Amino acid sequence: GAVVSQHPSWVICKSGTSVKIECRSLDFQATTMFWYRQFPKQSLMLMATSNEGSKATYEQGVEKDKFLINHASLTLSTLTVTSAHPEDSSFYICSARGRKRGGITGELFFGEGSRLTVL
């Protein structure tokens, strides 16, 4: 079964509104969570890396004030797309790893993804 849960799976919103996406590790403590976005027929692009209790590290070109990441607990990270615009429409995926999951093997465990459509 899934070890990382992402919610919501689909969201449609009006331009200018903010959208929050949650990523939860279900059976392990996720010391690190990653947020990606994926446009159609393209690979995953890392947006930011989030370690529990510290500020997220954003990749070059990703606006931290636009994409707010909070990793307040060892099982939950949230991505908030603020003042969303149509160009923010994309597939957003989180992944997580911790000592119990991926700590030795290095494997990443992915959430199911959230498809955002901004009208």
Partner 1 sequence: RKEVEQDPGPFNVPEGATVAFNCTYSNSASQSFFWYRQDCRKEPKLLMSVYSSGNEDGRFTAQLNRASQYISLLIRDSKLSDSATYLCVVNIGPNTGNQFYFGTGTSLTVIP
Select the residue interacting with partner 1 from 29, 32, 70, 82 (CB under 8 A).
Answer: 32
Mark residues 39-58: x for contact with partner 1 by CB under 8 A, - for none.
---xxx-x------------
One-letter amino acid at 91 equals F
Size of the site for partner 1 (CB under 8 A): 18
Whichever of 17 and 99 has its CB closer to partner 1, that residue is 99
- Name 23's Cβ contacts closer than 8 Å, sequence gap at least 6: 4, 5, 6, 33, 35, 76, 77, 78, 79, 94, 96, 111
* Token couple for 11: 């969201």
Shortest separation between residue 5's beta carbon and partner 1, angstroms? 11
> With binding defined as CB under 8 A, does residue 74 bind partner 1?
no
Whichever of 18 and 42 has its CB closer to partner 1, that residue is 42
- Name 119's Cβ contacts closer than 8 Å, sequence gap at least 6: 12, 13, 14, 15, 86
Shortest separation between residue 80's beta carbon and partner 1, angstroms? 20
> With binding defined as CB under 8 A, does residue 98 bind partner 1?
no
Shortest separation between residue 115's beta carbon and partner 1, angstroms? 7
Select the residue interacting with partner 1 from 34, 35, 58, 67 (CB under 8 A).
Answer: 34
**Rounded to whole angstroms, what are the CA distances from 34 to 12, 59, 60, 97?**
23, 11, 15, 9
